[in-house]
Amino acid sequence: MSSGSPEYLEQIRKEAEAELASVNDETAAENFRVRYLGKKGILRELLKSVKDIPEDQRKQFGAGANELRIQIEEKFNLLHSQKESDVTVDSSFDPTLPGFPFAAGSLHPLMNIRNEIRDIFLSMGFTVAYGPEVETDYYNFEALNTPPHHPARDMQDTFYVTAKELLRTHTSPVQIRVMEYQKPPIRSIMPGRVYRNEEISARSYCLFHQLEGLYVDENVSFADLKGTLLAFSRRFFDEKTKIKIRPSFFPFTEPSVEIDVECFLCKGNGCSICKQSGWLEVLGAGMVHPNVFKSVGIDSEKYTGFAFGIGIERIALLKYGIDDIRLFYENDMRFLKQF
């Protein structure tokens, strides 16, 4: 076989492929590379020898030799680069695993409670209304049957902004705003933040949240108030929850009541949450006072209504078993992450 013949090239190809097939570690790969593809390797030498080939065969042989070199180099690189990735990939890392989850935010516990209460009233046909947190004296007190020198104003220590403007002390002023622009029948709930100038402690804070309710129509009676709040309590706390209605006083309702629900933890048997009484105070309520209707131009001979105010913090403290109201406002992630 002449050193310039196509058969010679074929033989080198066979030998090279056989050797490449038996390469099974890095050292063997490197040996192969030097032997065939290195500067003094077989394939380079082959190309160098082209010049010695008789002229009539030179062109064909040169092309064949070059092609052989390229093919062997490609096959080797394929194998070699696989080896390389085997070496550099950290096998403890699985690139097909899903990524790390982003830390997701969540609703504040007070908003969870507000939403739960809201959804129950929405399902009963109530709609949601909002009012401003900076109110006027008129909406916060006067229109709610609490005239300037009424002693009930001493019940609430108020943050005044100006002589006539203040931070609302309850959500009841939103009742007035709703009745001013809407004619009966009215079924509204009015959640929001309220402010009182109280000394800050584990039990009270300078701001908190209420959810006001208002139902005005013809023939609305105290039985409707009782039925609505009983239905709410049974859906929010427990389907067998009992409620207790105690007489109370608010200037804007007559009669006025406070409603206790049976303690959902001890089912009325007495525990530390309900201070052994079996009952929890959760809301103030009553029949809308005729003077309130008068201030918004609703005929109290034709219409009657009931209103209620639920303290959201109070329910959240009870429901989550939290013993310090200040935790709700400090935005400590260790606290918030638990909800």
Please name the residues in contact with 12: beta carbons below 8 A apart, sequence gap of 6 or more.
Answer: 42, 43, 46, 68
Q: How far is the CB of 250 from ligand PHE (least distance, A)?
A: 4
Residue with Cβ nearer ligand PHE (36 or 252): 252
Q: Are 331 and 246 in contact (CB under 8 A)?
A: no
| Selected range binding ligand PHE among 54-62, 134-142, 294-302, 305-313, rule: CB under 6 A | 305-313
Any contact of residue 117 with ligand PHE (CB under 6 A)? no
Q: How far is the CB of 168 from ligand PHE (least distance, A)?
A: 10
Residue 294, Ramachandran bin (φ over 0: left; ψ between -120 and 50: alpha; else beta): alpha
* Torsion of Cα atoms, 283 then 288 then 293 then 294, to 10°: -110
Any contact of residue 309 with ligand PHE (CB under 6 A)? yes
Q: How many residues does the chain have?
A: 339
Any contact of residue 146 with ligand PHE (CB under 6 A)? no
| Candidate list 173, 251, 284, 305; residue touching ligand PHE; CB under 6 A | 284
CA atoms lying within 13 Å on the CB side of residue 45: 9
Q: Are 291 and 141 in contact (CB under 8 A)?
A: no
Residue with Cβ nearer ligand PHE (233 or 253): 253
Any contact of residue 293 with ligand PHE (CB under 6 A)? no
- In this structure, the strands spanning 134-136 and 243-250 are unpaired
Any contact of residue 208 with ligand PHE (CB under 6 A)? no
Please name the residues in contact with 11: beta carbons below 8 A apart, sequence gap of 6 or more.
Answer: 1
Any contact of residue 188 with ligand PHE (CB under 6 A)? no
By CB under 6 A, how many residues form the interface with ligand PHE?
A: 11
| Selected range binding ligand PHE among 43-51, 102-110, 233-241, 280-288, rule: CB under 6 A | 280-288
* Site for ligand PHE, residues 220 to 279, rule: CB under 6 A: 250, 253
Residue with Cβ nearer ligand PHE (171 or 241): 171
| Candidate list 69, 168, 170, 289; residue touching ligand PHE; CB under 6 A | 170
| Candidate list 308, 315, 327, 328; residue touching ligand PHE; CB under 6 A | 308
Structure tokens at 160: 């005044």
What is the rounded distance in angstroms from the CA atom of residue 224 to the CA atom of residue 312? 22
What is the rounded distance in angstroms from the CA atom of residue 125 to the CA atom of residue 234? 17
Residue with Cβ nearer ligand PHE (68 or 287): 287
Q: How far is the CB of 292 from ligand PHE (least distance, A)?
A: 10
Structure tokens at 209: 């949240």
Interacting residues toward ligand PHE by CB under 6 A: 170, 172, 212, 250, 253, 284-286, 307-309
